[in-house]
Structure 1
């Protein structure tokens, strides 16, 4: 069994009127290389005629985002020309690479009608050799993402990256990565073998789980040791879990604002390039 190193409670960090919790980075946990940042927005209910999500045009370089839409929607636009509205159960995967400008806001319908909202965004680092690759974006609705059933259907996993039980993920990662969004009914169980040298990202979005013998509530991130290979999970109530794993890069990382690079000099270059219009133009 994998040993649990520590359980990290997400810190409350509201953004305007958006309920937001973040378990990483905090004082107790900087990153789980190559997983570097998580924001958990909601759960909350927006009234009619609301302002929606507050993430207007902003730049990124040197990292990737995976955005999980559980309730509500996100309208994505970027300087590479990508545009989409992704609804509940959908996922967005964006590679910032050499640099782009994007906005993540609510659709016109959501702002007019209101409704429930719960959205998570996970940042992935990029290895030094791929920091400056061409930006890319893929947004998929729930029905476009392959799922697998475990424990007689009590556990359903959306396979996003990598492969599990022969089901291949919806997205082609920039580096070797396995990731699933796992929906569990109370009493549902699964086991997974993960190589000891891989780092595990394990965040409980909703519900309560028994994880390798420890009870863990929602809005907690489980940090594992790199020893042992088996994870055993049982849902003590209906639950949603994000589970990812990958080999660490073991490279220096400097994160500042929206840029994630390997040196402070590269961060300064990113700011200069953005100010000099090298991230494309914003015409929306």
Structure 2
């Protein structure tokens, strides 16, 4: 292991554990943002937990839920409910606006909402592509069931299994449950790798990675657990060049992210059909 990244607690209307970007490391492969959302539940008759419409450029968002549900709406006119096990992949490219709200049935039943939201930075030759959206239902995401290891291949290829999720650069994203005494060596040559411990504790050599921490791995890393753990393995091929982040914008130049902020403030983005409330650009 080369680096241990602790979580930072953020309040975005509900509590999230933010792992990337970190002052210790901006990104792993294309992953430039990783939030563990919840677990949380929300009172009926309120809008707590709703994220009003807001813009993105230069990235693709990946939403993956463990429990609960969310309703996605965007400026392309897409309306999509996401439920546990499914993947929502929204490619912002030159610019997209979306909202994420709790469905009424989830709010009324006080169902626990929990999941992982990540951003994938786009390669520089694709950061200005047309925006797009793809939904992959849970039954389309392939499962793994091996001795001591079970889980799912969310993005990329592992254990001889390929995910149908298509990304702009080579990416690996796995949801794995390791049994007691498990011993797993990730084998993804030429890819940067990290592991997030969702539940339990793992060890890599003499290093312990506690619950809710990220460990950045080297190519010889072997993941072990005594009592079992749930982990997210993520990474991919390194992206060339620098990336700059301003609020919800990612780009290969400061001018692009600043320009996107001005564009949002001046009403230059297409908005979500039927929605009127929106999040202003934060004051820096």
Fold-level similarity (TM above 0.5): yes
Moved more, 56-65 or 5-14: 5-14
Structure 1 CA distance for aligned equivalents of residues 229 and 102 of structure 2: 26
Deviation of 1:117 after TM superposition, in Å, equals: 1.6
Deviation of 1:52 after TM superposition, in Å, equals: 4.5
Corresponding position: 1:205 with 2:202: no
**Which residue, 124, 127, 132 being the options, matches 1:128?**
124
Moved more, 113-122 or 96-105: 113-122
Corresponding residue pairs, total:
274
Structure 2 CA distance for aligned equivalents of residues 141 and 6 of structure 1: 34
Structure 2 CA distance for aligned equivalents of residues 155 and 48 of structure 1: 38
**Which residue, 225, 231, 238 being the options, matches 1:241?**
231
Corresponding position: 1:105 with 2:91: no
Corresponding position: 1:170 with 2:167: no
Specify the SS of the correspondent of 2:90. Answer: strand
Structure 2 counterpart of 1:147: 143
Indicate the RMSD between aligned Cα atoms, in angstroms: 2.0
Structure 2 CA distance for aligned equivalents of residues 271 and 65 of structure 1: 18
Q: Which runs of 5+ in 2 are unaligned?
A: 275-284
Could you report, residue by residue, the CA deviation over 1:213-242 in whole angstroms, capped at 9, with x for unpaired residues? Answer: 4322111000234xxx34322333342211
Structure 2 CA distance for aligned equivalents of residues 185 and 245 of structure 1: 23
Specify the SS of the correspondent of 1:115. Answer: coil
Structure 2 CA distance for aligned equivalents of residues 231 and 274 of structure 1: 43
Preserved CA contact (<8 Å) 1:62 1:131: yes
Deviation of 1:198 after TM superposition, in Å, equals: 2.0
Structure 1 counterpart of 2:11: 14
Structure 2 counterpart of 1:267: 257
Structure 1 CA distance for aligned equivalents of residues 258 and 208 of structure 2: 44
Deviation of 1:48 after TM superposition, in Å, equals: 4.3
Structure 2 CA distance for aligned equivalents of residues 138 and 53 of structure 1: 23
Specify the SS of the correspondent of 1:236. Answer: coil
Structure 1 counterpart of 2:280: none
Structure 2 counterpart of 1:223: 216
Preserved CA contact (<8 Å) 1:200 1:243: yes
Structure 1 CA distance for aligned equivalents of residues 45 and 262 of structure 2: 38
Preserved CA contact (<8 Å) 1:158 1:181: yes
Structure 2 CA distance for aligned equivalents of residues 233 and 49 of structure 1: 45
Distance 1:43 1:239, change over 3 A: farther
**If the length of structure 1 is used for normalisation, what is the TM-score?**
0.88
Structure 2 CA distance for aligned equivalents of residues 84 and 111 of structure 1: 17
Structure 2 CA distance for aligned equivalents of residues 171 and 117 of structure 1: 23
Could you report, residue by residue, the CA deviation over 1:172-229 in whole angstroms, capped at 9, with x for unpaired residues? Answer: 111111221112333344322122x42113211122112344322111000234xxx3
Preserved CA contact (<8 Å) 2:169 2:237: no
Specify the SS of the correspondent of 2:222. Answer: strand
- After superposition, residues 57-96 of structure 1 pair within 5 angstroms as 57-96=53-92
Deviation of 1:273 after TM superposition, in Å, equals: 3.8
Moved more, 131-140 or 255-264: 131-140
Structure 1 CA distance for aligned equivalents of residues 47 and 180 of structure 2: 36
Structure 1 CA distance for aligned equivalents of residues 259 and 6 of structure 2: 35
